[in-house]
Structures are given as C-alpha cells and as structure tokens.
Amino acid sequence: MIKIENVCVNYNKVQALNNINLNLHNGQNLSIIGPNGCGKTTLLKCICNNIDFKGNIYIDNKNIKSLKRKELAKKVGMLSQLMSISFNYSVFDTVLMGRYVHQDKFLINNSKKDIDIVKKSLETVGLLEYKNRYISNLSGGQLQRVFLARLIAQNPDIILLDEPTNHLDFKYQIELIQFLKEWAIKENKTIIGVIHDINLAMLLTDNILILQNGNIKCFDKSENILKSNILNEVYNINIKDYMINSLKKWEKL
C-alpha cells in the first residue's frame, strides 16, 4: 500500500506540489495526467525519494525517508523516457544492473540466479537474441525494451513510469503500454504512470489522477472522468469534441 500524506514541494519559492494526499492499495494502478508543469514528474520523484519534500510517503507502512537506497529500490523502480547513453554497455550487462539492489557488491560474482533472471527478463521483452549487442546499436524501441527488461530484473513492487512512450513510434507506444498493463496484472505489481497521451493513460489504468497547478484536481475512475467536464476545464479545450472529430475522419475513409 502507498500512502501519500500532505506532500509539498517548492522549487525556488515556487510551489510545485501542494498538500498532496492519496492512498493506493497493492495492485491498484494509477495514471497521472495534467498540463505541463502541473507537478506530475515531481510527484514520481517524491515517491522514489529523489527530491526533498515536506510531508510523508509510506510504502507498506514504512516511511520512505527511513529506508536505505537499496531497500527502497527493492520496493520502487522507474522507467523514464529515452535519454542519451552515457556508457556503451552490452544489452546483457545493462539489464544485469537491475540486479544490483539484490547484491552485496556491484555486479561482482553474479550468481546463476542473477544470470537466469536477466535472460528471462530479456526473453520477456523479446530481446534475448540481442544480449551481446551494444546498446548504442539499438533502435529507440529496442533500447526502451532493454530498460524495461532491467526494471523486470530489478523486480520492484511498484513501477513508476515517467512518460516512457515519448520518442517512440506509435506501434511501440501501444505495445509498451499493453505489455506493462498485462505484466502488472500477472506479477501483481502496482503501476503509477505519468502519460501525456490521454488515450494511452486510460489504456494503461482505470484510475486517473488529474493534477493542476500542483494540486489534485480529480482522482476517479476513467469512465467517470470521461463523463464529466473536468478534462475540458483542466486543458482549456473541448477534449471530447476533438476526439470525436478525429474519429470521424477515420470513419470517412
């Protein structure tokens, strides 16, 4: 269970998050949406304790501020949008880094269990045959699947997604979201995802959190949100009309 209690964040005297309170039960997934700068990514950074914040966040009744980095990494893992590659490791070694949190030493004397888990993780995302290839030689979609395999190897209880479909082709966006949704159900994981695309956000989870100016605007089931006028208010545009008009163009073909 995740309990977020009175969380506030300030950047240079500007309030990025204001009194955020939220409870999520194990296996209850959540998509976070809202305009740029509303605090979506900041909230994820709070959950993995990467930034200073006021208030408290509890995971399984433990305050994350009291957890050591490795201990928290066993509970929480993050998949972000594609970034530049700093070190040109092989696919296998990149995924093997996910096992670091389960080891006493950093990638030294890896056990057969670790190696088997890495192979299984690569097989899960369909990249086992690429295990010896350097990550600089992969496409964007393949690279994101490598990072996903690393997260699977890490095996945290809670998966944080920070716009993971950015810079991916449309096909890979849908495949990634579908995979994450099915994998979370199968492995009893909790997913909290920041997704810009509203359709993808609602494909990923049934629970939607809408942030606006650092505040919770709405937390509800996706179908209730679609029936309301809340999206139009937050994005200052008639979302439903836009979606319907786009669909009509396809229907005419």
Among 154, 169, 198, residue at a domain's last position: 154
Q: Which amino acid is at 187?
A: E
Q: Residues in the chain, how many?
A: 253
One domain, residues 171 and 132: no
In this predicted structure, which of 48-52, 65-69, 84-88, 172-176 has the lowest mean pLDDT?
84-88
Task: Band the pLDDT of 172: cuts 50, 70, 90.
Answer: confident
- Cβ pair 67, 75 in contact under 8 A: yes
Measured CA to CA, the distance from residue 239 to residue 163 in angstroms comes to 20
Quickly list H helices, 9-139: 40-47, 69-73, 91-96, 112-124
pLDDT in tens, 191-250: 999 998 999 999 999 899 999 999 999 999 999 998 899 999 999 999 888 888 888 888
- Specify the CATH number for the domain of residue 200: 3.40.50.300
- Look at the block and give the residue holding tokens 């939220």: 22
One domain, residues 150 and 241: no
One domain, residues 150 and 166: no
Task: Band the pLDDT of 252: cuts 50, 70, 90.
Answer: confident
| pLDDT higher at 108 or 115 | 115
Prediction pTM value: 0.90
Among 154, 170, 198, residue at a domain's last position: 154
One domain, residues 229 and 216: yes
Measured CA to CA, the distance from residue 24 to residue 16 in angstroms comes to 21
One domain, residues 128 and 146: yes
CA 117 to chain centre: 21
Cα dist. 168→46, 145, 228 in Å?
26, 11, 31
Among 97, 129, 154, residue at a domain's last position: 154
